[in-house]
């Protein structure tokens, strides 16, 4: 199935070459677990501070069980804040 | 040093400067800076007075930790009645001026009356004098700062001043110190200019003293710095990316307002984000971001120093803007960018330079232009009013042109100087002003982030994110994650954030420490430095007391629960698409609970019992 990943801020270094600033479209196994996708990009669990699927927050505890669906967009930030 | 226990009172009508002892009874209840100066203001002015008349006072106040070695302890605040809102104004600034004022031996300066002709205040330790500023009137912030440095031949002199927008009566003029740090919101600069006070120049050489328990203080300060360094947000995230890293985050979660909050979600967000600021540009291979920068004693250093592409149309023929200066912070980038539909990073950086150079609040300014753009697109404002400028969303050239008109006080500039509330009223479309109590929203849509709706509605200085930054919990999960879309639990969350923030703003510390510090990190630092009960409980109670006191000022100024409101757009027009689709603000559910938790009446008045409980 096709999903997309978006890596921001210091995690951008894990993006393979591509056109978009943050996003890569990928083919992955059906029902891939979120944390396995994160591992494929060599992102350590503590680096994946804020993880969204389609804009919705995914708690660290859910990430080992959460199965991706076709078309999902996974967005990941390291620890950041502002205001 | 903690309190110097000395106040400088400057009567501008009489031209007198006098020293008086700090009211230590009040200091033990209201700590310093925001809290203590608001107490002085509440006691000394009629809250119904004309904000731009001589009866308003303007207080520049440090906190007891300002000037100490505590991390971020360089802050000062400006407190007065706001001409933009009519409510209490308190604008906080970093840089180096606050610490310098402390080194000169003063906890605060109270300006009263109005000078007959332009003056500036020169403070050199105990030597204090008002000097003629006729030659500075009409000058920008940057020029004024340079001239005063030349005049006094002291590179260590710290200057806070107003620019031309304040002189011209722009209702959201800022006081800028150290050239690009600003007490930015609510028109505190307009009040300063209304008193014919152009600048405050300060040099202090008296160092640090007066700490209640210096050894314990240093241990608490060390521990606090350790926490900031080890925390990934304050130790790495903020220094590397600044606040601007939020642009993609808030857009990603479906809470980035765009085009006068008509839309949520901005397609150009990534082009004006922190990541874009770090990319080399085509013309010279350099990024927009030159370096990060820190305020006095700050171990976070979130500040941005930027340049504009020299080949960009806005600065091509203006070499004075080719150097590095204060760059975009998130709220400014949002208001100047997403809210106007403009994603040209160089144009936004240039306009941000102008905000610093001439001292006006980029949040209110960007949001006012956004309201004007919506009225232009609806045909309410035409090229007749704008002087031929096609003021449509996304028109970068138009945006640069009206900003230059504002600074020059020409063409459409005077209309924009009104702020969006008065501008929209003038053109018969008050509902298009995205304000609470007359002050414009910052960069979080209250339909997407429910706690921010309550935050804005109840903020004592009108719409503001820095009164209770629940984004921290609702989006970033700090200190604990709450659901953005839930209204349940938000009244408690907002109250807790409001009280903590009031205390931090009264201490001399920067609110950004609270991404890593809890009250258990902050209270020991205050407690070791200051006389009085500054335990965690004592600090929380003081925060609550300060919040209620500000509220009582506003009630006396004529505000009621009806003013704790949001524009109809945010209550009725649901978000059209994205992860927050279908949401509106549920303020009407949250507000009654909030009043109850606060111990206020159903119409939002502080009850006698609450006043007694908080010794108000
Ligand atoms: S965190 Fe940023 S705004 Fe706060 S004191 Fe440090 S540099 Fe200044």
Q: Which fold has domain A2-77?
A: Ubiquitin-like (UB roll) (3.10.20)
Q: What are the structure tokens assigned to B278, written together?
A: 């770090």
Q: Show the domain range for B164.
A: 6-203
Nearest CA in chain A to B444: A83
Do both B365 and B495 map to the same domain? Answer: no
Q: What pLDDT band is residue B167 in, cutting at 50, 70 and 90?
A: very high
- Is a pLDDT exceeding 80 seen at residue B1? no
Tell me if chain A has a CB within 8 Å of the CB of B227. no
- B255 and B139 housed in the same domain: no
Q: Which of B65, B67, B69, B72 to mutate to test the pocket of ligand 1 (most atoms within 8 A of CB)?
A: B72
- Over residues B385-419, the pLDDT tens digits come to 999 999 999 999 999 999 999 999 999 999 999 99
- List chain B residues with CB under 8 Å of A78: 232, 236-237
Average pLDDT over residues B557-578: 97
- Average pLDDT (B535-549) is 98
**What are B492-530's pLDDT values in tens digits?**
999 999 999 999 999 999 999 999 999 999 999 999 999
Q: Is residue B523 part of a domain?
A: no
A57 CB neighbours in chain B (<8 A) are: 253, 475, 477, 481, 484
With respect to residue B221, please indicate whether it lies within any of the assigned structural domains.
no
Same-domain pairing of B253 and B126: no
Tell me the mean pLDDT in the region A43-53: 95
Q: Do A82 and B477 touch (CB under 8 A)?
A: no
Q: How confident is the model at residue B209 (pLDDT cuts 50, 70, 90)?
A: confident
Last residue of a domain, one of B404, B436, B468: B436
**Phi, psi of B371, deg, nearest 5:** -65, -40
Q: How many domains does one find in chain B?
A: 3
Q: Is residue B223 part of a domain?
A: no
How crowded is residue B576: how many other Cβ atoms within 10 Å of its Cβ?
12
Residue B210 pLDDT level (bands cut at 50, 70, 90): confident
> Is the shortest distance between the CB of B301 and ligand 1 below 6 Å?
yes
Residue B502 included in any domain: yes
B328 plus B461 within the same structural domain? no
Same domain, B111 and B145: yes
Alpha carbon distance B611, B601 (integer Å): 12
pTM: 0.98
- B208 has a pLDDT exceeding 80: no
Specify the ligand 1 atom closest to the Cα of B293: 7
Put simply, whether B246 touches A (Cβ < 8 Å) is: yes
User: Which residue of chain A has the CA closest to B265?
Assistant: A55
Is the CB–ligand 1 distance for residue B451 below 6 Å? no
Q: CB neighbours of B238 closer than 8 A, spacing ≥ 6?
A: A80, A81, A82, B300, B301, B302, B512, B515
> Which pLDDT band holds residue A82 (cuts at 50, 70, 90)?
confident
CB contacts of A9 in chain B (<8 Å) are 237, 240-241, 245, 274-275
Interface test with A, best of B476, B477, B514, B580 (most A CBs within 10 A): B476
| Chain B residues 258-277 with CB within 8 Å of chain A | 270, 274-276
Tell me if B479 is assigned to some domain. Answer: yes
Q: Does B248 touch chain A (CB under 8 A)?
A: yes
Is residue B527 situated within a structural domain? Answer: no
CATH of the domain at B587: 1.10.599.10
Residue whose CB lies within 8 A of the most ligand 1 atoms, among B294, B329, B505, for a mutation test: B294
CATH of the domain at B371: 1.10.569.10
The four Cα atoms A74, A75, A77, A83 give a dihedral, to 10 degrees, of -140
- DSSP code of residue B169: T
CA distance A8 to chain B (A): 8
d(C-alpha B413, C-alpha B416), whole Å: 5
Using an 8 Å Cβ cutoff, are A82 and A54 in contact? no
Shortest Cα distance, chain B CAs vs residue A67, angstroms = 19
Question: Residue B50 maps to which CATH number?
Answer: 3.60.9.10
Please say if the pLDDT value at position B63 is more than 80: yes
ipTM for the predicted complex comes to 0.98
Task: With respect to residue B229, please indicate whether it lies within any of the assigned structural domains.
Answer: no
Q: What percent of chain B has pLDDT over 90?
A: 99
For residues B457 and B388, state if they share a domain: no
Tokens encoding B50:
């004309």
Asked if B238's CB is within 8 angstroms of A82's CB, the reply is: yes
B21 and B162 belong to one structural domain: yes
Domain assignment of residue B500, yes or no: yes
Instruction: Determine contact, residues B398/B392, Cβ cutoff 8 Å.
Output: yes
Contacts of B274 in chain A (CB under 8 A): 9
Residue B551 vs residue B210, higher pLDDT: B551
Residues B326 and B198 in one domain: no
What is the whole-number distance in angstroms between the Cα of residue B294 and the centre of ligand 1?
A: 6
Q: Give residue for tokens 């307009």.
A: B190
User: Do the beta carbons of residue B371 and residue B432 sit within 8 Å?
Assistant: yes
Which of B403, B436, B469 is the endpoint of a domain?
A: B436
Tell whether B425 and B500 lie within a shared domain.
no
Q: Over the stretch B421-460, which tens digit does the pLDDT of each residue have?
A: 999 999 999 999 999 999 999 999 999 999 999 999 999 9
Based on the domain organization, do B155 and B261 belong to the same domain? no
Please give the Cα distance from B298 to B238 (Å, whole number): 12
pLDDT in tens, B221-268: 999 999 999 999 999 999 999 999 999 999 999 999 999 999 999 999
* B284 shares its domain with B162: no
- Residue A79 pLDDT > 80, yes or no? yes
Same domain (yes/no): B186, B139: yes
- Smallest CA-to-CA distance from B324 within B345, B342, B309 is with B309
Backbone CA torsion sign across B72, B78, B84, B86: positive
Q: What is the pLDDT of residue A81?
A: 86
């Amino acid at each position: 199935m096709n999903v997309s990943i978006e890596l921001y801020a210091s995690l951008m270094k894990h993006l393979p070459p591509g056109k978009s600033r943050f996003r890569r479209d990928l083919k992955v196994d059906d029902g891939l677990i979120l944390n396995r996708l994160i591992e494929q990009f060599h992102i350590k669990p503590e680096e994946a501070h804020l993880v969204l699927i389609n804009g919705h927050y995914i708690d660290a505890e859910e990430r080992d069980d959460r199965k991706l669906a076709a078309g999902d967009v996974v967005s990941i930030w390291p620890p950041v804040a502002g205001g | 040093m903690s309190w110097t226990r000395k106040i400088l009172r400057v009567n501008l009508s009489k031209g007198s400067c006098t020293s008086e002892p700090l009211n230590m009874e009040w200091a033990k209840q209201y700590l310093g800076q925001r809290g203590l100066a608001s107490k002085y203001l509440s006691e000394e002015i009629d809250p119904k007075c004309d904000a731009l008349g001589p009866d308003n006072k303007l207080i520049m106040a440090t906190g007891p930790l300002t000037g100490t070695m505590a991390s971020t302890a360089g802050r000062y605040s400006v407190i007065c009645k706001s001409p933009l809102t009519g409510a209490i104004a308190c604008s906080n600034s970093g840089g180096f001026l606050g610490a310098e004022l402390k080194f000169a031996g003063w906890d605060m300066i109270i300006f009263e009356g109005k000078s007959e002709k332009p003056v500036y205040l020169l403070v050199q330790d105990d030597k204090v004098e008002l000097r003629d500023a006729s030659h500075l009137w009409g000058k920008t912030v940057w020029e004024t700062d340079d001239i005063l440095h030349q005049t006094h031949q002291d590179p260590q002199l710290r200057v806070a001043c107003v620019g031309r927008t304040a002189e011209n009566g722009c209702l959201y003029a800022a006081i800028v110190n150290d050239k690009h740090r600003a007490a930015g919101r609510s028109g505190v600069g307009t009040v300063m200019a209304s008193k014919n006070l152009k600048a405050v120049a300060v040099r202090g050489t008296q160092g640090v003293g007066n700490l209640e328990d210096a050894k314990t203080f240093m241990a608490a300060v060390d521990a606090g710095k350790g926490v900031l360094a080890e925390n990934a947000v304050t130790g790495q995230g903020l220094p590397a990316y600044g606040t601007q890293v939020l642009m993609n985050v808030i857009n990603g979660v479906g809470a980035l307002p765009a085009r006068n909050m008509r839309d949520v979600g901005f397609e150009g967000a990534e082009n004006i984000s922190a990541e874009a600021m770090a990319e080399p540009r085509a013309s010279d291979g350099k990024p927009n971001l030159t370096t990060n920068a820190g305020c006095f004693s700050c171990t976070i250093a979130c500040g941005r120093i930027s340049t504009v592409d020299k080949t960009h149309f806005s600065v091509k023929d203006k070499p004075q803007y080719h150097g590095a200066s204060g760059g975009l912070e998130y709220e400014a980038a949002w208001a100047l960018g997403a809210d106007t539909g403009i994603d040209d990073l160089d144009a936004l950086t240039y306009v941000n330079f102008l905000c610093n150079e001439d001292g006006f609040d980029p949040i209110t300014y960007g949001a006012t232009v956004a309201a004007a753009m919506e009225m232009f697109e609806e045909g309410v404002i035409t090229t007749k009013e704008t002087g031929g400028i096609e003021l449509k969303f996304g028109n970068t050239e138009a945006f640069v042109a009206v900003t230059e008109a504002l600074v020059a006080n020409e063409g459409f500039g005077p209309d924009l100087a009104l702020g969006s509330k008065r501008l929209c009223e003038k053109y018969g479309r008050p509902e298009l002003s995205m304000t609470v109590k007359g002050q414009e929203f910052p960069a979080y849509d209250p339909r997407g982030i429910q706690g921010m709706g309550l935050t804005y509605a109840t903020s004592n200085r009108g719409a503001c994110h820095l009164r209770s930054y629940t984004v921290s919990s609702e989006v970033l999960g700090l200190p604990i994650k709450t659901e953005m879309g839930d209204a349940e639990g938000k009244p408690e969350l907002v109250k807790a954030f409001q009280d903590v923030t009031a205390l931090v703003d009264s201490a001399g510390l920067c609110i950004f420490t609270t991404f890593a510090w809890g009250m258990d990190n902050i209270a020991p630092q205050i407690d070791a430095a200051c006389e009085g009960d500054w335990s965690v409980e004592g600090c929380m109670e003081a925060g609550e007391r300060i919040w209620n006191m500000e509220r009582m000022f506003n009630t006396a100024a004529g505000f009621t629960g009806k003013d704790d409101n949001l524009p109809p757009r945010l209550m009725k027009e649901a978000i059209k698409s994205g992860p927050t689709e279908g949401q509106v603000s549920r303020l009407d559910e949250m507000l009654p609970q909030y009043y109850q938790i606060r111990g206020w009446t159903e119409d939002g008045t502080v009850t006698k019992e609450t006043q007694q409980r908080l010794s108000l």
